[in-house]
A and B are shown apart, each in its own frame.
Chain A
Amino acid sequence: MSSEIRRKPRIAVFKFASCDGCQLSLLDAEDELLGVAAALDIAYFPEASRAMGKGPYDIGLVEGSITTHHDAQRIQEVRRQCKTLIAIGACATAGGIQALRNWKDVDEFIRIVYATPKYINTLKLSTPIAEHVPVDFELRGCPINKYQLIELITATLAGRKPNVPTYSVCLECKRQSNVCIAVAQGVACLGPVTQAGCGALCPSFDRGCYGCFGPMESPNTGSLSNQLRALGQNNAEITRAFRSFNAWAWQFRKASEESGRT
């Protein structure tokens, strides 16, 4: 161990089905990037570098969801190569927007979409990384907050617990002294059931939260559904509200199916 302490920790960034936005967050940390690169050996990050160093790696960041047989196998190998595996973003932690297929017949999708369906290889479900391999930490968000990512990497290197709160967006709103748009303006807002991390962005821009950080630690989705109904939303609208970027996160999934039934 002691001989390893002096060498720089090696980090790798892997991509599965995704938009690239979460790994871009690392390159968007313009003020911190060169500092991160000085503290870490960025060993494998194809979006940024041709140099693709082989594993094992100390930290693996995984973006994207699992949607193909090939990727279901690849994630097993990625897990074997990484001492600490961190899933970043809504695709990796909840299956992403592409998990909307999970309520449809994907074979039918393929037949409609492709002139030559046999060229296409896809699974019926889009699933998060943790459904396939053990994950050491899940960083939420669509996209993730780049400062939370840096905090998480720093904490992992220091061997401490990262400071990533799991309370709701409402707390961030209160802290910013926002007047509650749901109460004051009757705007539909998922803030009460959504995990903090964005800085209460949507309410600060006069619109309701749409849940891109996924469910907070103990969301009362039933109560929120009633609130949305009281604001005049019908069941189809409530189902759609829960079925977006974190649709397959079990709390949102359950809420969307309940509003679909009633």
Chain B
Amino acid sequence: MSKQPIRTIKVDVLARVEGEGALYVKLKGDQVQEVKLKIYEPPRFFEAFLRGRHFSEVPDIVARICGICPIAYQMSAVHAMEDAFGVKVGGQLRALRRLIYCGEWIESHTLHVYMLHAPDFLGYQDAIQMARDHPGVVQRGLQLKKAGNAIVTLLGGREIHPINVRVGGFYKLPERRELAALAERLKWARDAALDTVRWVAKLPFPDFERDYVFVALRHPNEYPFNEGRLVSNRGLDIPISEYDANFTEEHVQHSNALHSALKQHGAYLVGPLARYSLNSDRLSPLAREAAREAGLASVCRNPFQSIIVRSVEIVYACDEALRIIEHYEPPEKPTVDIHPRAATGYGCTEAPRGILYHRYRLDDGGTILDAQIVPPTSQNQKTIEQDLGQFVPKFMNLPEAELRWQCEQAVRNYDPCISCATHFLRLEIERA
């Protein structure tokens, strides 16, 4: 055997991702020997200090895991707590939760589409550089993002770490006229989102597909936000309370975020690609039509095309927000009554980046005894590494700098939120 040269691709600081990560790929000849998505973001031990806190404090505390998707953390937390206490929040309160989630999807997805992902396809270092050549496009992105933030601000008080979400509902309800004013902006946003789909559909996509194991929520008649069963394209179909029985987490040396796996299938993918591929029949007619026009089939296996799927989801979120506003009648009270009891509760909602699972065990006074939180980016880590393992050999002949950039882009396909991933490290490895 002749000696084959060892080559490495290293990215010491991954840019345009939330949080701190690095990338390491080791090649021998044309074989990939090792791929590591290194997560060196320091751990913050949230699950540790949630113990002993009162359930009513949890939505405010868990929001601080992520400045980009605080609503997702608040929603998974309130659903888990309500599950523990045997309370169902329905009607207009449920609709308002869906509305605020729409705002977060619009804000978070637009940030990624325009500011973090699109510059890769067009060869810019960032959106500000891109704005010099495409000022109208970047302005549209900023205003679309602002429309999403306007929903979160109206319902939540502010866009980052909103203050109005509580177990049982909200502290204060919006008035009809406030939502009506928002609707005018959202009509513009929906058109801007349709333009976004048309724009991203024309970007150059590498020819790369994988037969992923997709995992997402599925609801009987809605595109999933807050509720549903956990399903996969390999036959998984479980209530969220069976998450722990079907998924595992492991601690690897190169990451401060635990790696998740499906017990039966290993690596899996969560987020827009999975959500869309398992639920495209639940999109609104307008969003479905936008997807069709953009050339998306009902299943999308090219991770680079996640930018199209995100854009379709922005259309859906604008459309859904407008539908909710149109049917809004202020409920009598902003919250349903909560009576704590000793129990374990489960919550799983669709964060912009994929399923976010929470489990809390509480005592009869409503104090947290232990908590488990599994964010989407920890669940995608293995899949990201596998993508790179298959991607690099196909594009090995590219010049070094270009290959490195393509690898970064392959990571950014997932909109990884490293801050989230690290902040959730499981406290208990073993339970007696």
A residues within 8 Å of B by Cβ? 15-25, 27-28, 30-31, 33-34, 37, 42, 45-52, 67-68, 71, 96-98, 100-101, 104, 109, 112-116, 119-120, 122, 126, 142-143, 198, 201-202, 204-207, 210, 212, 237, 240, 244-245
Contacts and interface: CB of A to CB of B under 8 A. Distances in A.
Contacts of A212: 161
Contacts of B323: none
A24 B67 contact: yes
B425 A34 contact: no
Contacts of A207: 163-164, 166, 171-172
Contact of B49 (A15, A42, A100, A205): A100
Nearest to A22: B67
B57 interface: yes
Q: Which of A113, A198, A244 has the most CB of B within 10 A?
A: A113
A45 B48 CA distance: 31
A49 B68 contact: no
A205 B15 contact: no
Interface stretch (B1-9, B137-145, B183-191, B206-214): B137-145
B83 interface: no
Contact of A46 (B13, B54, B64): B13
Given A17-B42, A50-B15, A67-B43, 17 more contacts: A15-B19, A16-B42, A19-B66, A21-B66, A27-B111, A30-B146, A47-B16, A48-B126, A50-B119, A100-B49, A112-B427, A116-B251, A143-B67, A202-B171, A206-B334, A210-B163, A240-B53
Given A19-B419, A20-B419, A33 B142 contact: yes
A45 B16 CA distance: 9
B415 interface: no
Interface in B234-286: 250-251, 253, 256
A189 to B, nearest CB: 13
A34 B138 CA distance: 9
Given A27-B115, A97-B49, A202-B163, A142 B64 contact: yes
A210 B17 CA distance: 30
B42 A122 contact: yes
B292 interface: no
A34 B128 contact: yes
Nearest to A100: B49
Given A27-B115, A97-B44, A115-B429, A240 B57 contact: yes
B205 to A, nearest CB: 20
Interface of B: 13-20, 41-49, 53-54, 57, 60-61, 64-68, 70, 111, 115-116, 119, 125-129, 131, 138-139, 142-143, 145-146, 149, 157-161, 163-164, 166, 171-172, 250-251, 253, 256, 334, 405, 408, 417, 419, 423, 425-429
Nearest to B252: A119
Contact of A115 (B43, B46, B250): B250
B15 A19 contact: no
A42 B131 CA distance: 14
17 contacts: A17-B42, A18-B67, A19-B67, A24-B67, A45-B126, A46-B15, A46-B16, A47-B16, A47-B17, A48-B127, A49-B126, A97-B64, A100-B49, A115-B251, A206-B172, A237-B54, A240-B57
Contacts of B47: 113
B154 to A, nearest CB: 11
A246 to B, nearest CB: 12
Contacts of A112: 48, 427-428
